[in-house]
Amino acid sequence: MTEVEGTLDFYLSQGTALRSLYQRAEPFLMWTQFVNPVQEDDDSFLYSYDDTGMAADPKIKKPAHVQIGGDFPEVDMSRAKVTSDLLESRGFAIRIKHSIIRKEPRGISEVQKAYKFAGYWLAKYINDSIATAIASGATTPTWTPTSVWSTTATATPMYDCMGFKNAMKREGYAYRMTDMFCHTNNLNEMEAFLLGSELPAYRDAVTRNTYQDSIVLPMEGNPVLHGQFSGITDGYLLGVDKNSPCAEFHYYVDKQFGTQNVSYQTVIDGKKQMVTAANLGINFDTWVEKGSEDTLLKFWCEGKTVVTEAYAALYDNGI
């Protein structure tokens, strides 16, 4: 990283930049808990995926009758397919004018503002790219929603979610849907449906909804319905099994421009705490442009999401 002389050295250092970025990005990186992170040492990688499973394996065999002491019949099984892919590098630079950066209080404020915006923008990209990749590689379920949820006279959101959840149950697979994602508009429609119900359990599900961006659905398994403004199209449902991630997030940290782990301050149970997390491919650099003497802050991330178990995610429209 190019050294920047002056009193802003601390605020322009790699450690401060990554810590500030993650502090602002962390609240928005919700999708990272639904993938398996895999650190790479190059921009190309290999991964395996299963498109048959145990029950659908064309080589499936039934145990044969054997005699004690005799030979057992030897069988074969299908192997997971292996393929390769390339990481994607995405980023941008933010310019801070020399006339501002040289004034310490104002310069510090501008640098911190740049970290705030960059942290959110990078988190939004990572979040949306994971959701988009999972939706693209997910299985289309066999289900029939009653009607779109905006049609309040005939819509049955809870029955639709129950059918969607049960569609993940498949012979030979242990997947069970724990989380569903929809557009915020659809979450609001579900909230209105539950609140207007005569069933106390339905109304209670809304009153217990303290976070406002998700609802614990009162049904077997208690799946959580999350609302998002981006990453999910209005009218679609995306369901996953959090206990069996359907995808891998492959990432690369450039040792010159990033650190393997990042320690930053966050709020847990209402209290500020320092936490340490793996750096999921976010890199940082800074330099002074000759001539203008403006300071440029460069932010980028290197990673890609690939679906490895398609039946652990369902995606379809109709709500």
User: Which residues are CB-contacts of 165 (< 8 A; sequence separation ≥ 6)?
Assistant: 177, 180, 219, 221, 223, 239
Domain identity same for 252 and 236? no
Structure-block tokens of residue 282: 């976010």
> What is the phi/psi pair of residue 299, to 5°?
-125, 135
Structure-block tokens of residue 167: 């569609």
What domain range is 124 assigned to?
A: 14-51+83-136+248-303
Reply yes or no on whether the pLDDT at 229 is more than 60. yes
Domain identity same for 229 and 296? no
**95: Cα within 13 Å, side-chain hemisphere:** 7
Structure-block tokens of residue 38: 């895999």
State pTM to two decimals.
0.84
Domain identity same for 37 and 106? yes
Reply yes or no on whether the pLDDT at 77 is more than 60. no
Cα–Cα dist 193/98, whole Å: 55
312 within some domain: no
Q: What is the largest CA-CA distance in the chain?
A: 89
**pLDDT for the residue 10:** 86
238: closest CA among 225, 249, 250, 247?
225
Cα–Cα dist 38/17, whole Å: 23
* Overall average pLDDT of the 272-299 stretch: 93
**pLDDT for the residue 78:** 54
* Under 8 Å between Cβ of 211 and 203: no
Reply yes or no on whether the pLDDT at 54 is more than 60. no
Q: Which amino acid is at 89?
A: S
* Overall average pLDDT of the 90-106 stretch: 89
63 within some domain: no
165 within some domain: yes
Domain identity same for 241 and 254? no
* Under 8 Å between Cβ of 162 and 146: no
pLDDT band at 265 (very low <50, low <70, confident <90, very high): confident
User: Which residues are CB-contacts of 46 (< 8 A; sequence separation ≥ 6)?
Assistant: 82, 83, 84
Reply yes or no on whether the pLDDT at 255 is more than 80. yes
**pLDDT for the residue 2:** 40
**pLDDT for the residue 97:** 93
Highest mean predicted confidence (pLDDT) among 20-24, 27-31, 71-75, 164-168: 164-168
Domain identity same for 122 and 22? yes
Reply yes or no on whether the pLDDT at 109 is more than 80. yes
Reply yes or no on whether the pLDDT at 148 is more than 90. yes
* Mean predicted lDDT score pLDDT of the chain: 88
* Under 8 Å between Cβ of 294 and 101: yes
Domain identity same for 223 and 178? yes
User: Which residues are CB-contacts of 199 (< 8 A; sequence separation ≥ 6)?
Assistant: none
Site of tokens 């310069």: 107
Reply yes or no on whether the pLDDT at 208 is more than 60. yes
Cα–Cα dist 273/213, whole Å: 23
Q: How many domains does the chain have?
A: 2
Domain identity same for 235 and 122? no
